[in-house]
Amino acid sequence: MPQTLDDRLVIAISSRALFNLDESHRVYESEGLEAYSAYQVAREEEPLEPGEAFPLVHKLLRLNDRLGEESQVEVVLLSRNSADTGLRVFNSIQHYDLAIKRAAFCGGESPWRYINAFGCQLFLSNEAEDVRYALDCGVAAATLVSSKGGGSHNDQLRFAFDGDAVIFSDEAERVYKSRGLEAFTASEQAAAREPLGGGPFKPFLAALQRLQQAFPASEAPIRTALVTARSAPAHERVIRTLRAWNIRIDESIFLGGLNKTEFLRAYQADVFFDDQPAHCASASPHIATGHVPHGIANA
């Protein structure tokens, strides 16, 4: 029978997120496709430098060493390259001994249409348009905007998420944007026992929890944190929503509007996902950051 990836955590990544293809991209933009192809073929034995998402992917794939013989984490490469120009990418994957076996090289076309076919729960890319299409397909997705990766210096993989429009729907954020903080607080207090709707990252968070449950809480190789601008009393609805979903978050940080960056550094996040461009811009020089172009803040 054909293999399936139904029982695995499947993460799709673009070649420009995994490797530093800035110089190659400059050739493409300044000299065109033929020059780009010649540039890549001439250098196909030269390994590419790691890109923004490389440390995250490396840690993800190492989870399989702790999760048993059967791989439970799968990383799939989705690329706008052709197979011919993509040979350098696969050679680089082999050079760094990354256990990536599956790929789609789309010859200049957007690769987002293969996300559901592979069963991906997360898509990371440098192409904002592809990310928006992935979100429209119901898959958690983010545009990598960081210029530097921070993170923890151990094998534990630490994810940090904003709440509204990322883990949760943007219904509460719409109240804040249209009517202000006082109305938002009053609305959240009144609806404290009504679970929020799910946001684009709810299924991915649930998938992470399934992996966490294979280990005692003190030994889990994955740790999650909610890092939100909310404060008391708007915290209650968030806590009750996660309880209703039966999803555990290891750490919940309610900042009441404080800058998130120092808290993300203290947490040692490997990656942070937020819908607000300003929050992403602040965090990105220090933490690998994914902008989630979803909800009212990105209308």
Active site residues: 162
Three-state SS annotation for 179-219: HCHHHHHHHHHHCCCCCCCECCCHHHHHHHHHHHCCCCHHH
Taking each helix axis as running N to C, give the angle between helix 22-31 and helix 33-42, from 0 to 180 degrees, rounded to the nearest 10: 140
Q: Which is nearest to 266 in space by CA: 291, 290, 287, 285? A: 287
Q: Who contacts 213 (Cβ-Cβ below 8 Å, separation ≥6)?
A: none
Q: Who contacts 138 (Cβ-Cβ below 8 Å, separation ≥6)?
A: 116, 200
Q: What distance in Å separates the CA atoms of residue 241 and residue 226, rounded to the nearest whole number?
A: 13
Give the pair of three-digit tokens for residue 208: 């992470």
Q: What distance in Å separates the CA atoms of residue 292 and residue 271, rounded to the nearest whole number?
A: 12
Q: Which residues pair with 253 in a beta bridge?
A: 227
Q: What distance in Å separates the CA atoms of residue 288 and residue 18, rounded to the nearest whole number?
A: 12
Question: 3-class DSSP state for residue 156?
Answer: coil
**Number of neighbouring beta carbons within 10 Å of residue 182:** 9
- Phi and psi at 84, nearest 5°, equal -65, -50
